[in-house]
Amino acid sequence: MRGKTRPGDRIFLGLSRGAGISLLVIMAAIAGFLAYRAGIAISKDDANFLTESEWNPAGNPPVFGIAVLAFGTIVSSVIAMIIAVPVAIGIALFISHYAPRKLAAPLAYVVDLLAAVPSIIYGLWGALFLVPYLDGLNSWLDEYLGWTYIFEKTGEGVARNLFTVGILLAIMILPIITNVTREVFLQVPKMHEEAALALGATRWEVIRMSVLPFGRSGIISASMLGLGRALGETMAVAVVLSPSFIISGHLLDPGGGTFAQNIAAKFNEADGFGRDALIASGLVLFVITLLVNGAARAIIARRKEYSGANA
């Protein structure tokens, strides 16, 4: 029965499939072109690109590496995750299980608003408002938790450090983690919760026994999506951090840097080769975020099938 397809159908299918393929081409092109320019830069690098902690592509011979940037990116993102994940789970639970019914929708909207604020404004607010406020907290941490090494302040200086950056990043990635976990919490079969309630469980016991186990993979992938955001955040970090090319475990000392922040800060003063070097560091960032996001999406996709069979 399949006669000849109409020309209009063929054209339209071709167009829409072409659009889909173009997205794949763009992704491949991003990887390809960044790798090509990065190759130019790394081949002339006089030091080990991965372990060198200096950034001087204009030198003779050029010496640059990503050790400091990788350290700063990972440390600030880890701080952000430590703060944001529990809080985001709390907010998601609040919206899905604790808030009065009528308030739930507006509250979800408020969280969306947090996501809509441009990152440069977070940066401005962080640098001019949050940093002075955190000075007090920093000296308090230094005084009472200084023995932990990471909270020891070795010098004077305002709170333009990796710790502050981590807090700011935590605020910025809250909405995405909250939204994804909330969706998963709402998918928890009502029967599980009602069964637990019928057995006399308190609300917390319901959450611990039926909601959290069901939502575990959702929480993990949501956290990884948040991690992806935190790793790639540029402007807020560039505005708040006072960068330096030193690896220091003292989180409260100003200094350090991240991949994205370094690109934004060094771009204007970089010559042609310097830009290639920055592209090389951007490639590393691209690969890391690709892996993190890919893993997160793979986990979500797997559980989509599972919950679909469950419904």
Partner 1 sequence: MSQTLQDKRPVAAVRTGSLSHARMPRWAPAAIAVGSIAAGCGIGSAAGWHSRVQWGIIAALIFVLATYVITTKVENSRQAKDRVATSLVWVCFVLAVVPLLSLAWVTVKEGMEVVDGYFLGHSMNGVLDVQPGGGIYHALLGTVEQVLIAAVIAAPIGLLTAIYLVEYGRGKLAKAVTFFVDVMTGIPSIVAGLFILATWNLMLGFGPSGFAGGLALAILMMPVVVRSTEEMLKLVPNELREASLALGVPKWRTILKVVLPTAIGGITTGVMLAVARVTGETAPVLLLVFGTRLINPNPFEGAQSSLPLYVYEQYAVGTDASIARAWGAALVLIAFVMILNLVARGIARWKAPKTGK
Site for partner 1 in 40-69 (CB under 8 A): none
End-to-end CA, the chain: 37
CB of 242 to partner 1, least distance (A): 12
CB of 134 to partner 1, least distance (A): 7
* 64: β partners: 55
Written as one letter, the residue type at 186 is L
Element spanning 31, H or E: helix 7-44
Query: Is residue 247 within 8 Å of residue 53, measured between CB atoms?
Result: yes
CA dihedral 128, 116, 163, 49 (to 10 degrees): -110
Interface region with partner 1, contact rule CB under 8 A, candidates 47-55, 130-138, 150-158, 180-188: 130-138
Of the two residues 35 and 63, which places its CB atom closer to partner 1 in the complex?
35
Q: Which two tokens stand for residue 303?
A: 């559980």
260 counts as binding partner 1 under rule CB under 8 A = yes
Residue 63 dihedral angles phi and psi, to the nearest 5°: -130, 115
Of the two residues 24 and 309, which places its CB atom closer to partner 1 in the complex?
24
Strand 63-64 with 55-56, pairing: antiparallel
d(CA 96, CA 104): 7
Of the two residues 35 and 150, which places its CB atom closer to partner 1 in the complex?
35
Q: Which 268-307 positions form the footprint of partner 1 (CB under 8 A)?
A: 272, 275, 278-279, 282, 285-286, 289-290, 292-294, 296-297, 301
Q: Which 133-172 positions form the footprint of partner 1 (CB under 8 A)?
A: 133-137, 140, 171
Q: Which 219-248 positions form the footprint of partner 1 (CB under 8 A)?
A: 225, 228-229, 231-235, 238-239
197 counts as binding partner 1 under rule CB under 8 A = no
